[in-house]
Amino acid sequence: MCCRYVLLKEHLAEIVHKLGLEPPAEFASRFNLAPGQLIPAVRAAPAGTGLEIARLNWGLIPAWASPGSERRPNARAETLASKPSFRDAFRTRRCLLPASGFYEWEKIGKARLPWLFRSPGSQPFCLAGIWESRSLPDGTHLETCAVITSEPNAVMRPIHHRMPVILLRDQFDRWLDPRATRPEDMEPLLGPAPNGSLAAVRVGTRVNSTAFDNESCLLPPEPGTEGAAQFDLGLG
């Protein structure tokens, strides 16, 4: 699964500039993005007019679901094409979620110890996403999204049994192509990230609380705290 991530302002700008877009001027760096919040996404614009940046609510609600239905922040890659909650969005409403890194938690006894996963060179990437839109009684639309997850790679496996699907620049156009509506066209993109593409480092437990959303979320554990010892998961 993926339930928190980091997005620096300069990394958002770098990704959207490569796609020929301008970043939203109001966006400030975020260090603890969580489900239920609005997150920036790149998707195909209506009527084949190129790409656009949208602000989507993280936690997908299918268009056909009843009011108050459970939000789904993650969608398993293995069931995207068959599960009613995701299959239509997988075919026609895919998006990119720019990221600087993401967190996952290791369970040791009763402790939940957070790890930050990022590229070894601290380069931005995108999480693969799908989105939905539903009409509200006041005439507006609620647009929601989910992060697609896969089996873990060797870097993630010691920490968690799932990881977000990561897309790199040479995969962006294919993922966003509105003409590609067959699941088999997208399935090659949905595997775990190559082992060398991610590094992991333990961070302090401040990130466990969404009340903290600043650079302190990236700091290592304080000496002497539970689980402060790090072990090598590819951090160079």
Note if 2 is an active site residue.
yes
What one-character DSSP code corresponds to residue 60?
B
Q: Is 104 a catalytic residue?
A: yes
| pLDDT, average across residues 84-112 | 95
Region 79-101 average pLDDT: 97
Mean pLDDT computed over 12-32: 95
pLDDT tens across 173-194, in order? 999 999 999 999 999 999 999 9
Domains along the chain? 5-207 (3.90.1680.10)
E strand residue ranges, the chain: 5-7, 30-33, 38-44, 51-58, 74-76, 94-99, 101-108, 111-118, 125-135, 141-150, 163-164, 166-167, 199-202
Q: Of 2, 95, 126, 145, which residue is the catalytic one?
A: 2
Beta-sheet strand order (sheet of 5-7): 30-33, 5-7, 101-108, 111-118, 199-202
pLDDT at 63: 86
Report pLDDT for 231. 33
Query: What is the chain's mean pLDDT, rounded?
Result: 91
pLDDT in tens, 193-202: 999 999 999 9
Pick the catalytic residue: 95, 104, 143, 145?
104
> Would you state the pLDDT for residue 233?
34
Distance of CA 179 to the CA centre of its chain: 23
**Average pLDDT score over residue span 38-59:** 93
